Amino acid sequence: MPRHSSSGSLELLHSLDQPAVLVGRRSLRLIAANAAFAGCFSLDAGALAGRSLATLISPGSLHVIEEMLASGVVASSSAIRLKFDGQECGSLQPRRCQSLSGGRLILFGSPGAAARDDERRLLARFREALDSVMHYVAIFDADGRLVACNKYYRDTFSVGDNRLPPEVQLEGKTYRELMELRVRYKSHYELTEDPKKFVEDRVRRFHSDGDNRVRMATGRVTQAQYRPLRDGGRVLVSTDITEVVEAEAKQRELQAQLHHSQRLEALGTLAGGLAHDLNNTLVPILALTQMTKRRLPEGSQERRNLDTVLKSVERAKDLVARILTFSRKGSMAISEFNLGDVIPEALEMLRALIPSTIDIRPVLAPVPAPL
């Protein structure tokens, strides 16, 4: 087997993608380990230096190491169970070992079947956890392609009868392709205006860090948040805020009602001032009309005219009293009255205002008895 220098051995070790470790042939003590091997223990590579390889594998796997030392290769069915501080950390599928100068060895391996099972279980737990989140979640890589999403995000592509077929795979599509898919299934409210503009606008928002509201075709409103990841990817988390939007609309409605009430209050204050002025104007009219009436003979037309004036003044005073009640926020008394009594008085006022050539003939129906 070829021999390697010390620096060349370390370069070879750290260039390998599969787990590998440099050990002394006799002591089996770790001289160095690459990141892939240390990752099996969720440790940094430097944390394993100086440890005996025997302390990192289960006793039942020692015969696999002995087989590798004897022949340089092992059977494909063999596996090395890894452990750290008494806890198992998965397994490695050994491949071969290479002798180096100074009685050193590089042992090569790849994640074993058990490790791959652990990865599958971990991935299943991840997807289960993602689906349990009551938000719309989507994770994208550095190229803007969807890596994973939960069921709530996928459901946003279906509206009414426009259901996203189960065979349509969202993972692997770029964000632009996903937005074009939304156009196809009409899952956004904005699509009714300009689909092309919608796609460009959504892509622009995706590449900007911020929050924005989205109205879906179902009428629901979501708050979308785009956040960058360390590897250049992005994560989208969108929350249904329909109830919040409705509450904001209700609050705006209540504020409008408050402003309207404040305007009415100001109007009431103004009306109160006008009512006082009108009342002061009515006082001399009432007094002088009564004085003039007393000087006229009973049954004369002039006296009847002044009676009509007095009735009008009384109605004006009643109107002033109502305005004052409104302006002072007082309670108003509601009472029943007979329309048959009011109409003849109104007709008397009309006769004084309209030409004598017009004849007014009232026809009043009997007032029904109260229920």
What is the tens place of the pLDDT at every residue in 32-69?
888 888 887 778 778 888 888 888 888 777 777 777 77
pLDDT for 187 equals 66
For 325-354, what is each residue's pLDDT tens digit? Answer: 766 655 556 777 777 777 877 777 677 678
83-92, 238-247, 290-299, 351-360 — most confident range = 290-299
Confidence of residue 3 (pLDDT cuts 50, 70, 90): very low
pLDDT for 329 equals 55
pLDDT for 223 equals 80
Query: Per the CATH hierarchy, to which homologous superfamily does domain 6-117 belong?
Result: PAS domain (3.30.450.20)
Q: What is the DSSP letter of 26?
A: T
Evaluate if residue 304 carries a pLDDT over 70.
Answer: yes
Domain range annotation of the chain? 6-117, 133-240, 247-351
Is residue 36 a contact partner of residue 82, using CB atoms and an 8 Å limit? no
Question: Is 344 or 121 the better-scoring residue by pLDDT?
Answer: 344
pLDDT for 338 equals 75
Retrieve residue 21's tokens.
């470790």
For residue 286, the Cα-to-chain-centroid distance in whole angstroms is 68
Q: For 94-103, 230-239, 309-318, which range has the lowest pLDDT when averaged over its residues?
A: 94-103
Mean pLDDT of 70-86: 67
Question: Is 103 or 71 the better-scoring residue by pLDDT?
Answer: 71
Q: Same topology for domains 6-117 and 133-240, yes or no? A: yes
Mean pLDDT of 134-141: 86
Average pLDDT, the chain: 76
Is residue 177 a contact partner of residue 190, using CB atoms and an 8 Å limit? no
Provide the total of helices (H) and of strands (E) in the chain, helices listed first. Answer: 10, 10
Evaluate if residue 191 carries a pLDDT over 60.
Answer: no
Strand 87-100 versus strand 221-228 pairing type: unpaired
* DSSP assignment of 249-265: HHHHHHHHHHHHHHHHH
Evaluate if residue 288 carries a pLDDT over 60.
Answer: yes
Edge-to-edge strand list for the sheet holding 80-84: 30-33, 20-24, 104-111, 87-100, 80-84
Mean pLDDT of 252-275: 82
In CATH, 247-351 is 1.10.8:
no
Mean pLDDT of 205-216: 73
Interatomic CA distance for residues 283 and 291, integer angstroms: 12
CATH fold for the domain made of 133-240: Beta-Lactamase (3.30.450)
Q: Model-level pTM? A: 0.41
Distances in whole angstroms, Cα of residue 360 to Cα of each of 342, 351, 357: 15, 8, 10
Is residue 349 a contact partner of residue 302, using CB atoms and an 8 Å limit? no
Q: What is the dihedral of CA 308, 314, 318, 319, to 10 degrees?
A: 50
pLDDT for 113 equals 47
Mean pLDDT of 121-144: 80
* Locus of tokens 């370390």: 10
Cβ partners under 8 Å of residue 24, min gap 6? 31, 103, 104, 105
- % of residues, the chain, pLDDT over 90: 0
Distances in whole angstroms, Cα of residue 353 to Cα of each of 25, 89, 308, 350: 128, 107, 12, 5
Evaluate if residue 72 carries a pLDDT over 70.
Answer: no
